[in-house]
Structure 1
Amino acid sequence: MANQVTRRLYDFLKDVPPFNYVDDEAALLRVASRVEVTYLTPGTVVFRPGEPPRDRFFVVKEGAVELFRVDDAGEQLVERCGEGDVFGIRPLLAEDNYLFLARAAEESLVYAINTAGFRELLPLYPRVTQFLAATMAGSNRYAITATKPSPEATAELGAESLAFGLLESQRLGNLRQPITCFATARIVDAAKLMTEHNVGSIVVVSREHHPVGIITDRDFRSKVATGVRSPQDGVIKLMKKPVVCIGPTLTAADVQIEMLRRGINHLVQTEDGTRNSPITGVVSKHDLLVLQGNNPAVLIREIGRAKSAAYLRTLRERAERMLATYLEQEVSIVFITTIMTRLNDEIIRTCIKMGLARMQADGRGNPPALFDWLALGSQGRGEQLLRTDQDNALIFADVPAARYNTVKDYFLQLAGYVTESLNQVGFEYCTADMMASNPAWCLPVSKWKEQFTHWMDDNTAENLLNVSIFFDFRGVWGDGSLPAQLTKHIFRERPGSRTRFLASLAQMAVNYPSPLTFFRNFVVERSGEHKNQFDLKSRAMRPLTDAARVLMLEARVGNVNNTFRRYETMAELEPQNARGYREAAQAYEVLIRLRATVGLRRQDSGRYLEPKELTSMQRVLLRNSFNPVGDMQMRLETRFQLNFLR
């Protein structure tokens, strides 16, 4: 029995970063064998700020754990960690106490990973170290503290995390010129030099300009400001030694690894990489942040600080350049979609903040009720790589009838500001007006429930189209309680109408025409604006997204919107059909990668392809992806007995 449990734990961990970089099955099984499985009821505290680090860190298997910053103003939500997210990694690499309060937001299953067992793997797997190092360098969670940043920022992006692929290929080049002083200088002299040059460190050198020690801002705070050392003391009483040196040929990733292993924030570059040659430069953690201008965590931080839609547009363009690099480097498409979803979510939240500020400036005050912004369609599924049109909605808490019109008017105005900002960022207005600024899609909880019930009971073509867009909703603002009520409503017991509804959805998913002609040529549009082009979305991607949606609805599984993860979930629920579901997930990865590649090259949505513009390899991959489309359609026909409904 113990071996079976360990194997199940292993099967989960092997797909979760940073464990997925450990290709030694036996080593990862040993880690899995030491995992403690913990069930958390809502409100259970995992750790508190100021507590000493434990011998474990955590992975969310099911549910959600929230991290809060606690200060005089109360609790401020920092991050919501969901399935596959890692948190509490501070004990793994740092000795500092916990900074945040970690508390279960709902019923959750958490795996506690023994740090001692996992730490043994770090020297053996550089990519694990790179993952943690990049996370430390890029996290904005810990920018508020003067202490050493923690690798707990792994959960910041909740996936394979930051762009170590870029770091591996980025040479440091010419570092900033170091500020130096001789060992005979006084501490006050060193402080004056640092202030004059506006730097955070000074290197103490010999007469030959060989580095013998280093002093940082932190040394002044911890020793001079506290009276341990006098400003009149010599620098040799304050400096740290020996100095950690690097050579001129290292990459940014190499430097991050060295900082991580040594637990330091500065490295000194010398001519030959040793302390016995002249100093040529200094690199700090901050320098790496500047170097990694397109690091996802850096972009997220900048997006959160943005004050205008124009700057957000610039940042989103930087994100697209990063996306292009990922695609060129053949980075996992699941990783890419996770990163881009986080970036898009942060853009939406920043636009909402700007909208709320405009409401304040208009004299409308704070929101009159709890609300959440719902991402729909591809962004709701976490699959929007390019800046396509907007699909969104707004849900707010029920209010007394006497206040209803006033409250709705407030949220419609707010939604207008938000959609306007998103349009300025580059997300075009939806031509069908499926946006929160439309009164039909800005509703309280009770009316959203009525709307969903209507769609499920009256299965017209228009209602089923709405289902295909709105049932992929995902809250990106608020505490998540309002979207959770909708999810619960969808799965309530209504046997008769539910059966008809699912069968109608399945029928819609199998109605898409074949992507290939009898002679295995791509079926292209015969007329109109896109004549002789292949509709990648309608003929290949949509059948897979629709099939995944109806299968998850039948399985009564909510809060899993992403098409890849829906098929992976179905593979777990139906092991006998796992191969087919995983092939469907892989096919969808091929399709979404191809669409993004074409869209970036042509600066459009990538929906329509000209077969002649594809490489021979792309043609093969595209054709192969059609097989799972047909398999899923046949599965739906059999499962829902669609042949008997025709």
Structure 2
Amino acid sequence: MNTIAEHIADFLKKYPPFDNLTFQELSEIATSIRVINLEKHKILFQINDVLHDSFYVVASGVVNLSVIADAEETLLNKCYEGDIFGLRPFFAKNNYQMTAKAREESIIYAIPIATFRPFVANNSEVLDFLLHSFASNTSNPADKENSSGKLLSDNVYFADQQSEIQYFQSLSYNVAPLTGTENTTVQEAAQQMTNSLSTSVLVCQNSLPIGIVTNTDMCSKIATGRFPINTTLDKIMSSPVVTVVENVSLAEAQLLMLKYNVTHLCVTQDGTDKSVVKGVISEHDLIVAQASNPGVLIKEIKRSQTPKDLKSIRERLTELVQKAIQKNIPISRVNILASEINLALIKRAVELSILDLGSPPARYAWLSIGSQGRREQLLTTDQDSMLIFEDVTAEKYRDVKDYFLKLGKRTTAILEKAGYEYCPFGHMASNMLWCKSLTDWTNQYQSWMNTPGENSNQLSSIFFDFEIVIGEKKIEEAIENVIFNNIKNNTLLFDFLGNEALRKNSPLTFFKKFHVEEKGPNKDKFDIKTRALMPLIDGARLFSLSHNMRGITSTYLRFKQLAIVDPRNSEIYINCSKAFIILSKFRTLEGLKNDSSGQYINLMELSKAEKEVLKNAFEPMEALEDLIKDKFQLTQFS
């Protein structure tokens, strides 16, 4: 193998999606790569150019991607070393929709699509990455269907849940497709396609699909004069059609289009061409679906400039959660996905505040506490946060604290406009009590933990559930160390937290009826948060602290881990983890239905079977209560 190809393979191996390929595969690809020297301001391709046979990777330099909208050039993206661009030939047949121009002298690798395609078809992670990159770089501001978000300054790839989310993400597609027979003329079909703005016509026989004619066929076979306009469809149709089932996922549809090199899929009742047509999925449908996938949402968050931008993404997250629930994706996985997006939204709010205020005068850590700290924030609940800044000299302290309080106030205000309500108890970084130096926070935690009864008016157990959003990881670790150093043999704290966990009112009355609200706006509704979820959340936290479990804040994962570290009681923990998932789903469905936090369940709207499921989910709570009483021998605060 020649040294240039070896050098290219070494370079590619460092960047996604090439890091998913073996060096052997990369070496094979590298031998057919062309190296292009692009001078400053030189254009590689521009809007309406015919598609190239390659896509591109920046080896060095910077390439700007721009579009012309309203007679004005708008920068969409800047591609730096290792970034991929020019993916349109992979996924679309129409001409380039943007211009790629060197911002400075650049070296570009041109990777032939014909060489790369087999590696994509065999590797879904590579495919996912290319699809996200393509979808994220196709938002043309002039395109009204895809007018979300502003400009992008960097390429980010959300690696964790991508393929998983794509496998459940459903598609909206044309459920009333154009159909014709073998004897329909091309002229008639073209007229129909023009009138209905359709890109295809299905050729059917006895309501079953036998072929398809697309825009591409019209261009390559009719416009070129190869066939006359009065030709019948059977002469130019592609046959057989590639068929799929009705609830095909986004990822499956993409893989099939790639595999068969087609631009349309025919949806039939049973997924074969021997059953009735239900619709047609086009490439455009896939691109539209991409607009609400997590990778794209994260990328849009990073380029958001206003609270309004963040709010629209927050609303699309709700749609994503709704689709996931409808597809029966486990709540534990949906939680991970939603918390990643929530985390990115909060981080962006902090970044926007820093852009206004100027650089922080000291290192700091912004932590989410409570439900987001546990990665359980699926719905639009309130904000909970704390801010820790590094210790500074006495003369600097006041100015530094003033800066971070301003940062807290500005950020929480942005988040409020984006749809996250203020915490009614003031547990936010904008509150001077929860924005202080590392030493002050260390003293605060030691005071809470060693004299809990005296500080019970301040001690909220949510301060033990936190996750860093932005800032210095070492500061978060320092607080974690304070907690675990003070927890050893701390019977007083466990006594306090144990009683806290048991203090929540029982979900059922003595006669096994639901304990409902007796007055107020939620009269006759069931408070699923306070009566059912909180006892489980508090119990999981209590036991995980007592077992010195670091770095696990999610209630579900805490129970799963407890079952491993305390095998004698594993059955109780496993049952509690299942109950937590069931109850979370009830709450989420209620919240989605009423655009609320889902805290209060309207029992009148539940079926008898659903009420039984809900009651059964309460059962493990009794065993958990008994375990708490037994393990912590509760006395002082009882």
TM-score calculated relative to the size of structure 1: 0.63
Deviation at 1:53, TM superposition (A): 4.8
Given candidates 481, 500, 514, the residue that maps to 2:506 is 514
Instruction: Report how many aligned residue pairs link the two structures.
Output: 462
Question: Which residue is equivalent to 1:432?
Answer: 425
CA gap of 1:529–1:169, structure 2 versus 1, over 3 A, is: closer
Question: Which residue is equivalent to 1:35?
Answer: none
Matched, 1:165 2:168: yes
Q: Which runs of 5+ in 1 are unaligned?
A: 1-46, 58-68, 74-89, 91-118, 124-128, 145-151, 176-200, 213-243, 275-280, 360-364
Matched, 1:319 2:317: yes
Question: Which residue is equivalent to 1:84?
Answer: none
Matched, 1:296 2:288: no
Q: Do 1:159 and 1:335's aligned partners in 2 also have CA atoms closer than 8 Å? A: no
Given candidates 393, 396, 408, the residue that maps to 2:389 is 396
Taking only the aligned residue pairs, the percentage that are identical comes to 30
Q: Do 2:563 and 2:573's aligned partners in 1 also have CA atoms closer than 8 Å? A: yes
SS, match of residue 532 in structure 1: coil
Question: C-alpha offsets along residues 364-402 of structure 1, whole Å, 9 cap, x if unaligned?
Answer: x31111112110111110111111111111111111111
| Partners of 2:136 and 2:519 in 1: CA distance | 56
Return 602-611 or 561-570, whichever deviates more. Answer: 602-611
Q: Which amino acid aligns with 2:608?
A: S
| Partners of 1:135 and 1:167 in 2: CA distance | 18
| Partners of 2:370 and 2:344 in 1: CA distance | 17
Q: Which amino acid aligns with 2:164?
A: S
Question: Which residue is equivalent to 1:195?
Answer: none
Question: Which residue is equivalent to 2:326?
Answer: 328
CA gap of 1:520–1:130, structure 2 versus 1, over 3 A, is: farther
CA gap of 1:142–1:387, structure 2 versus 1, over 3 A, is: closer
CA RMSD in angstroms comes to: 4.1
Return 380-389 or 600-609, whichever deviates more. Answer: 600-609
Q: Which amino acid aligns with 1:424?
A: K
| Partners of 2:524 and 2:625 in 1: CA distance | 25
| Partners of 1:545 and 1:345 in 2: CA distance | 20
Question: Which residue is equivalent to 1:413?
Answer: 406
Return 436-445 or 248-257, whichever deviates more. Answer: 248-257
Matched, 1:481 2:474: yes
Deviation at 1:153, TM superposition (A): 9.2
Matched, 1:444 2:437: yes
| Partners of 2:526 and 2:604 in 1: CA distance | 10
CA gap of 1:428–1:640, structure 2 versus 1, over 3 A, is: same
Q: Do 1:372 and 1:395's aligned partners in 2 also have CA atoms closer than 8 Å? A: yes
Give runs of aligned pairs for residues 84-233 of structure 1, distance below 5 A: 133-134=127-128, 136-138=130-132, 156-158=159-161, 161-167=164-170, 207=221
Question: C-alpha offsets along residues 459-480 of structure 1, whole Å, 9 cap, x if unaligned?
Answer: 1285386341111011011242
TM-score calculated relative to the size of structure 2: 0.64
Question: C-alpha offsets along residues 173-195 of structure 1, whole Å, 9 cap, x if unaligned?
Answer: 889xxxxxxxxxxxxxxxxxxxx
Q: Which amino acid aligns with 1:316?
A: R
| Partners of 1:390 and 1:645 in 2: CA distance | 29
CA gap of 1:308–1:155, structure 2 versus 1, over 3 A, is: closer
| Partners of 2:444 and 2:239 in 1: CA distance | 65
Question: Which residue is equivalent to 1:584?
Answer: 576
| Partners of 1:163 and 1:581 in 2: CA distance | 31
Q: Do 2:401 and 2:436's aligned partners in 1 also have CA atoms closer than 8 Å? A: yes
Deviation at 1:525, TM superposition (A): 2.3
Question: Which residue is equivalent to 2:525?
Answer: 533
| Partners of 1:428 and 1:411 in 2: CA distance | 20
Q: Do 2:579 and 2:620's aligned partners in 1 also have CA atoms closer than 8 Å? A: yes
Q: Do 1:534 and 1:611's aligned partners in 2 also have CA atoms closer than 8 Å? A: yes
Question: Which residue is equivalent to 1:99?
Answer: none
Given candidates 354, 357, 371, the residue that maps to 1:356 is 354
| Partners of 2:265 and 2:220 in 1: CA distance | 13
CA gap of 1:645–1:420, structure 2 versus 1, over 3 A, is: closer
Deviation at 1:511, TM superposition (A): 2.0
Q: Do 1:173 and 1:248's aligned partners in 2 also have CA atoms closer than 8 Å? A: no
Question: Which residue is equivalent to 1:23?
Answer: none
| Partners of 1:422 and 1:415 in 2: CA distance | 11
Q: Which has the larger radius of gyration?
A: 2
| Partners of 1:308 and 1:417 in 2: CA distance | 12
